[in-house]
Structure 1
Amino acid sequence: MSETHNVADEEEMPKVLGGVVPYLIVDGASKAAEFYKQALAAKEVFRQPEDENGRTMHIHLYVHGGSLMLCDPYPEYGQPLRGHAGYTLTLNVNDVDSWWARAMGAGMEVTQPLERMFWGDRYGQLLDPFGVIWAIVGK
Structure 2
Amino acid sequence: MDTNAQTNDNQAVAPVRGGVVAYLQVDGAMKAAEYYKKALGAEIAALHPVDDQGRTMHVHLYINGTSVMLGDAYPEYGHPLQTPQAFTMMLPVDDIDFWWKRAVDAGMTVELELQVMFWGDRYGQVRDPFGVAWAMNAPVKA
| 8 Å Cα contact 1:96-1:138 kept in structure 2 | yes
Compute the TM-score of the two structures, normalised by the length of structure 2.
0.93
Report what 2:12 is aligned to: 12
Moved more, 71-80 or 83-92: 71-80
Could you say what secondary structure the match of 2:49 adopts?
coil
Residues 2 and 10 of structure 1: CA distance in aligned 2, closer, same or farther (over 3 Å): farther
Report what 1:137 is aligned to: 137
Shift in Å at residue 17 of structure 1? Answer: 0.4
Could you say what secondary structure the match of 1:112 adopts?
strand
Q: Which runs of 4+ in 1 moved over 3 A?
A: 1-5, 8-11
Matched, 1:126 2:94: no
Matched, 1:95 2:95: yes
Letter in 2 for 1:55: R
Shift in Å at residue 113 of structure 1? Answer: 0.6
| Alignment partners' CA distance in 2, 1:9 and 1:3 | 18
Q: CA RMSD in A?
A: 1.5
Unaligned runs of 5+ in 2: none
Could you say what secondary structure the match of 1:80 adopts?
coil
Compute the TM-score of the two structures, normalised by the length of structure 1.
0.95
Per-residue deviation, residues 1-58 of structure 1 (Å, max 9, x unmatched): 6476423483320000001100000001110000000000000011111101110110
| 8 Å Cα contact 2:8-2:48 kept in structure 1 | no
Per-residue deviation, residues 101-126 of structure 1 (Å, max 9, x unmatched): 00001100000111000111000000
Report what 1:62 is aligned to: 62
| Alignment partners' CA distance in 2, 1:31 and 1:116 | 33
Letter in 2 for 1:110: V
Unaligned runs of 5+ in 1: none
| 8 Å Cα contact 1:55-1:72 kept in structure 2 | yes
| % same residue | 53
Residues 32 and 3 of structure 1: CA distance in aligned 2, closer, same or farther (over 3 Å): closer
Instruction: Count residues with an aligned counterpart.
Output: 139
